[in-house]
Amino acid sequence: MKLIKALFSIALTLVLIWALQTKFGDIPPIGEFLNSVSGFWQNAESKNFQPDENLHLEGLQGKVTVRFDEHRIPHIFAENDHDLYYVQGYLTARDRLWQMDIQTRSAAGRLSEIVGPKALEVDRYHRRMGMTYGAENTLKGIMKDPTMKMVIEAYTEGVNSYIHHLSKRDYPIEFKLLGYAPEEWKPINCAYLLKLMSETLAGGSDQFAMTNDLKRFGAKDVNDLFPDYPFHEDPIIPVGTKWNFKPLPIPKPSKDFIALMTDTIRPRERVPGIGSNNWAVAGSKSASGYPILANDPHLNLTFPSIWYQLQMSSPTVNVYGVSLPGAPCIVIGYNQKISWGVTNVDADVLDWYQVKFKDNRKNEYWYNNKWNKTTKRVEVINVLGRKPVYDTVIYTHHGPVVYDNISQKPKEGHENIPVGDALRWIAHDESDEFMTFYLLNRGKNYDDYRKALTYYTAPAQNFIFASNDKDIAITPNGKIPLKFKDQGKFIMDGSDPANDWQGWIPYDQNPTVKNPPRGFVSSANQSSTDQTYPYYINWRFELYDRGKRINDKLKVMQNATIDSMRLMQMDNYSMRAQDVLPSMLRYVDTSKLNPDQLKVFQIVKKWDKHFAANSVGASIFNAWWLKFYDMVWDEFKDDKVLLNVPSFDRAEKLLLTEPNSKWFDLKGTPAKETCNDIVLQAFVTAADELLKSMGQPGKKWEWGNVKDTHINHLANLPGFGTGQFYAGGTGAVINALRGGNGPSWRMVVQMGPQVKGYGVFPGGESGNPGSYYYEDMFTTWRDGKLNELLFLQSPDEKSNRIKSTLTLSSK
C-alpha cells in the first residue's frame, strides 16, 4: 500500500514535470518558459550598461575592438576583413538571433517545423515560388567569387561562434516561447535574406488580374484605363535627359501578344504604396557647399527593427550605416568619401507563362513547336508533430509551375497566382548582390559607385549617390530583362519562344544621371524615365505624388542643411489633394447638403492639405477620395473573378479631364451618373459615415486618431509592440507612415571634409523585449528627430558617447 502511494506520487510528479515541459497546441511549454532558472526571467537585462568585456573566440585571426555608444550601436575595429565580418555576424546574432532565424526560416519554407501544420500553406507557397531554388542559385553565384566567399563564411563563422556557446537560459525569449532551439547558421541563410527582399519588393504581380480585366473589358478599355505612362508624372531621371548610348535591338512582340492587343482572341496581389524616398542635393544648393544625401526606405515596421545599425572598420574600409540582420556588409550608409541609399525601382521582373502539358503526368510541355521535358523538384516540408509533407513542383525552362492544379492552391490568399502557369522570376537567377554593397562600403568616388552597381541583380533599386568630389547621381539599377513593350503586362503563352526574356539591358545603359543642371537627384518609386528611354522596364510604377513633392521642394531650396532635409522627410503635404481637391470642392452643390454635412464640407474646404496628426480635414479628404475612387470603379467589383482596379492616377485624370466618361455611371442604378453626381454622392456618403461613427467633428476625427499607426512584434505578440500611436503621414506623402508600414530608417548625410551622418530607426539595436535597447530610438523617430551618428576614425578616438568596450581575440 505504502509502495503504491509512493509510486503514485512519483508518477504524478513526473507527469507534472513532463506537462510543464511540453507544448500543447499554441500554448508554450509553461514550465520551460516561466521557470526562474532558465525561463524568460533570465532574458530581463539590467538597465545598467554592461561593463567592459574581454572574449576569446575560436577562429578570429587578430584582435578586434568593439566600442558601444549610448544606443549600444557597435563600432567594430578589426585588423583584417575576415575578423570584421566574423564580428559583424557575432554581434548581430547576439542582438538579433531569433529574428535571423525566423526570417530565413520563413523564406526557406520551414515554419511548419516549429509551429506545426498551421504554417504548411505558407511554407508550400515559399517552396513552390522557388525561394529555395533561387537561394541555392544565388549561393552558387556568391561562392564563385573568392572575396564574397570569404565574407559569407566569416560572417557565418561569427554567427555560429555565438550560437555554440549559448546556454539554454540565454536563448532569446521567442525560442523559449515557441519551444525550440537555435540551429547552426548556414551560408545559404544569407542568400535567403536577399530572396526575402525580392519577395517584398519585386514579388507581387497583377498579371492574372490584368488578364482577367482584358477578358472582361477588352483591349480598348484596358489600354485606356491602364496606360503605360501615367497622367501625372515627374520621373526619376529628369525629363529631357539624353541617352548617350546605342541601344540593343528591342525584341519583337510575340504573335499572341499582338492578337491579344487587337482583340482577335480572348484568353499575390501587388501591394500598392510600397516605396521609399531618397534624394541628394548638389553643393550649389547646400549651405556647406558639399552635397547632402537623404534616404528613408519604407518597409513593414516591426520590432525587432528590420535594420541593424553599426560602424565597420578594418584596414580596407571604414563605413557606417544599416545592415540586414543575417547578411554581411552595410546596405545603406556612408564612409569618409561617399554616401549612398536605395529605393525600390519596381521593374517588371516577374512573369507568368501559360503551360500546355502533354498529359496528366506532366512530364512534357509544348514549347517551340515540340514537346520538352519538365523537371521535378521534391520539396520536403517537415511538420511539427506530423509526418513530413512531400510536395512535387514541376519546372519548365521558365521556372516553377507554382500551382499546377486548382486543388494545390489554398482556399484563401494568393488569389493573384494563376493556376497552371510557370513563373519566370529574377529571384531564381544566380546572383551576387552582396558584392555591390561590399564595393560601395569601400567606394571612394563616382567610378567606384558605377562599378559596384554592375554586380547587382535584384530587387532592382534606385541607387542614389553623393561624394566628397561634389558629385551626385542616381541610377535605377538591377538586372533588368530585355523586353518588348508591355511584355509581361498580361499572362503570356509559354509555348512561344518570342515570349521569353530575350537578354538583359546592359548595366551601362540602365537609366542614370550625374550632376543634372537642376542641382539635385531624387526618387520615390515613380517612373524611372520619361517616354524617350529606349527600353521597357515596366508599364506602371508608384504614384508620382511623393516624387513630385520632393522635386518641387528641392527645386526652390537654397542653403540646404541637415535640418532642411530632416524636415522634408517629415513633410505631410498631399500632392493628390493639391491636384484634385479644388475640382472636387467645385463639384459639390452645397445647397444639397444638410447642416451636419455642410459643417464637414467647410472643414475640408479650409484644410491646408497636410496629413498632419491633428488634422481633421485630412480624415475627411481621405474618406471622401476613397469613396469617390470606389464609386468610379464599381465596374471592377467582383467577388468571383480577381480584377485589377485602375490606379488613383487614372481616377484623377478622369475627374480632371473626362467629366462625362462612361465610367462615372453606376452599374446598379437606372440613372446615368456623371462626374458631378459621383463627387457629391461620395462626399455625402463619406461625411455621413464619419458622423455616424465618430459624432460631431472633434478630437476623434483627427487624422492621427483615425489612422491606425502601430509597430508590432515580428510574431505579433501582444505587449511586445508599441500599440497604436498618434502620428501624421500617409502613403502618398513624403512621410509615408501608414498602418504598420513606413520609414524604416531615416538617414541624412552631409558630405564634406568631415562627413556627418544623422539617422534613426523605429526600435532599437537589441531584439530582446527585455532590453533597454529594444525600442530606445522609437520616440526620437516618432517625433521626427534624428540622432547624430557617431562615426569614429580610430578605435582610440575619445568620445563621451562611448559607454563600453568589448575586446575580442582568438582562443
Partner 1 sequence: MLFLLILILSFICSYFLPWWAAAAIAFLAALFVGKTSGKSFWSGFGAIFVLWIVLALVKSIPNDDILASRVIQLFPLPHQWVLLLLTTALIGGLVGGMAALSGILTKKAFKK
Given the complex with partner 1, which of 2 and 387 has the nearer CB atom? 2
Q: Which is nearer to partner 1, 9 or 262 (CB)?
A: 9
Among 24, 25, 48, 800, which residue sits at the site for partner 1 (rule: CB under 8 A)? 48
Assigned C-alpha cell, 429? 537567377
Q: Can you say how many angstroms the Cα of residue 685 is from the centroid of all Cα atoms in its chain?
A: 34
Burial readout 636-674 (b: 16 or more C-beta within 10 A, e: otherwise):
beeeeebbbbbbbbbbbbbbeeeeeeebbbbeeeeeebe
Q: Does 435 bind partner 1 (CB under 8 A)?
A: no
Interaction pattern, residues 122-161, with partner 1; x per rule: CB under 8 A: ----------------------------------------
- The interface with partner 1 within residues 335-354 (CB under 8 A) comprises none
Crossing angle between the packed helical segments 187-202 and 81-107, to the nearest 10 degrees: 60
C-beta closer to partner 1: residue 4 or 265:
4
Residue 2 binds to partner 1 (criterion: CB under 8 A): yes
How many Å apart are CA 389 and CA 117, to the nearest integer? 10
Total of chain residues touching partner 1, rule CB under 8 A: 40
36 lines the binding site for partner 1 (CB under 8 A): yes
- Number of Cβ within 10 Å of residue 263's Cβ equals 11
SS3 810: strand
Q: How far is the CB of 114 from partner 1 (least distance, A)?
A: 17
In the numeric block, which cell numbers belong to residue 279? 534624394
State the minimum distance, in angstroms, from the CB of residue 37 to partner 1: 4
Torsion (CA) 548, 554, 556, 558 in degrees, nearest 10: 170
Tell me the C-alpha distance between 749 and 291, whole Å.
8
- Of 38 and 805, the one with the shorter C-beta distance to partner 1 is 38
* Residue with smaller CB distance to partner 1, 13 or 405: 13
Angle 409-412-415 from CA coordinates, rounded to 5°: 65
Indicate the residue among 40 and 185 with the shorter CB distance to partner 1.
40
Distances (CA, A) of 328 to 190, 194, 310: 8, 11, 11
Least distance between partner 1 and beta carbon 764 (Å): 12
Say how far apart CA 749 and CA 759 lie, in whole Å: 8
Site for partner 1 in 757-776 (CB under 8 A): 769-770, 772
CB of 31 to partner 1, least distance (A): 6
DSSP classification of residue 731: T
Q: Residues 5, 370, 387, 640: which binds partner 1 (CB under 8 A)?
A: 5
Residue choice 42, 65, 137, 705 for contact with partner 1 (CB under 8 A): 42
User: Is 739 near partner 1 (CB under 8 A)?
Assistant: no
To the nearest whole angstrom, how small is the minimum distance from the Cβ of residue 774 to partner 1? 8
Q: Does 30 bind partner 1 (CB under 8 A)?
A: yes
CB of 173 to partner 1, least distance (A): 8
When asked if residue 181 is in the footprint of partner 1 (CB under 8 A), the reply is no
Closest CA to 78 of 808, 803, 798, 789: 808
Whichever of 35 and 288 has its CB closer to partner 1, that residue is 35
Binding of residue 407 to partner 1 (CB under 8 A): no
For 462, the enclosing helix (H) or strand (E) is: strand 461-467
Query: CB count, 10 Å around CB of 429?
Result: 16
Does 41 contact partner 1 by CB under 8 A?
Answer: yes
Q: Write the CA distances from 624 to 176, 404, 581, 588, 600, integer angstroms.
A: 47, 42, 10, 12, 11
Stretch that binds partner 1, among 213-221, 454-462, 689-697, 714-722 (CB under 8 A): 714-722
Task: Name 444's Cβ contacts closer than 8 Å, sequence gap at least 6.
Answer: 337, 338
**Cβ-based nearer residue to partner 1, 167 or 360:** 167
What is the DSSP code (8-state) at residue 251? P
CB of 783 to partner 1, least distance (A): 21
Q: Contact between 20 and partner 1 (CB under 8 A)?
A: yes
Find the binder of partner 1 among 385, 595, 668, 719 (CB under 8 A).
719
Per CB under 8 A, the list member of 56, 168, 266, 358 interacting with partner 1 is 168
| Structure-block grid coordinates of residue 514 | 550625374
Residue 39 beta carbon to partner 1: minimum distance, rounded to whole angstroms: 7
25 binds partner 1 (CB under 8 A): no
17 binds partner 1 (CB under 8 A): yes
Cα 13 to chain center, whole Å? 50
CA torsion sign for 250, 251, 254, 257 is negative
Nearer CB in complex with partner 1: 175/535 = 175
Contact 179, 403 (CB under 8 A): no
Closer by beta carbon to partner 1, 70 or else 596: 70
Residue closer to partner 1 (CB basis): 189 or 766: 766
Strand partners, 713: 303
Residue 108 makes CB contacts below 8 A (sequence gap 6+) with: 126, 131, 132, 135, 189, 192
Choose which of 23, 29, 43, 781 interacts with partner 1 (CB under 8 A). Answer: 43
In this chain, which stretch among 98-106, 470-478, 497-505, 718-726 interacts with partner 1, using CB under 8 A? 718-726
Closer Cβ to partner 1, 17 or 380, answer by number? 17
- To the nearest whole angstrom, how small is the minimum distance from the Cβ of residue 785 to partner 1? 23
Q: Is residue 668 involved in binding partner 1 (CB under 8 A)?
A: no
Residue 779 sits in the site that holds partner 1 (CB under 8 A): no
Could you tell me the smallest distance in angstroms from the CB atom of residue 722 to partner 1?
11
Q: Cα–chain-centroid distance for residue 697?
A: 36
Please return the burial class of 63, using the count of CB atoms within 10 Å of its CB with bins 0-12, 13-18 and 19+.
middle
Using the contact rule CB under 8 A, the part of the chain among 39-47, 407-415, 701-709, 790-798 near partner 1 is 39-47
Cell of 297: 526606405
Residue closest to 567 by CA, chosen among 786, 354, 376: 786
CB closer to partner 1 out of 42 and 295? 42
- Span of 4-12, 58-66, 257-265, 401-409 interacting with partner 1 by CB under 8 A: 4-12
* Burial class (CB within 10 angstroms; exposed 0-12, middle 13-18, buried 19+) of 802: middle
Contact between 271 and partner 1 per CB under 8 A: no
CB of 776 to partner 1, least distance (A): 11
For 324-420, where are the E strands, in sequence order? 332-335, 338-344, 350-354, 364-367, 370-373, 375-381, 389-395
Quick one: which segment of 15-23, 84-92, 503-511, 791-799 binds partner 1 (CB under 8 A)?
15-23
The stretch among 46-54, 479-487, 544-552, 757-765 that binds partner 1 (CB under 8 A) is 46-54
From candidates 12, 239, 258, 380, binder to partner 1 by CB under 8 A: 12
Q: Which is nearer to partner 1, 178 or 452 (CB)?
A: 178
Which residues are CB-contacts of 709 (< 8 A; sequence separation ≥ 6)?
724, 725, 726, 727, 729, 737, 738, 739, 740, 742
DSSP secondary structure letters along 418-457: -TTEEEEEGGGS---HHHHHHHHHH--SHHHHHHHHTT--
When the beta carbons of 39 and 511 are compared against partner 1, the nearer one is: 39
Rank residues 49 and 245 by Cβ distance to partner 1 and give the closer one: 49
Contact 154, 146 (CB under 8 A): no
CB-based burial of residue 696 (10 Å sphere; 0-12 exposed, 13-18 middle, 19+ buried)?
exposed
Query: Rule CB under 8 A: is residue 378 a binding residue for partner 1?
Result: no
Q: Interface with partner 1 includes 718 (CB under 8 A)? A: yes
Q: Does 44 bind partner 1 (CB under 8 A)?
A: yes
Give contact residues for partner 1 (rule: CB under 8 A): 2-3, 5-6, 9-10, 12-13, 16-17, 20-21, 30-32, 34-48, 168, 173, 177, 717-720, 769-770, 772
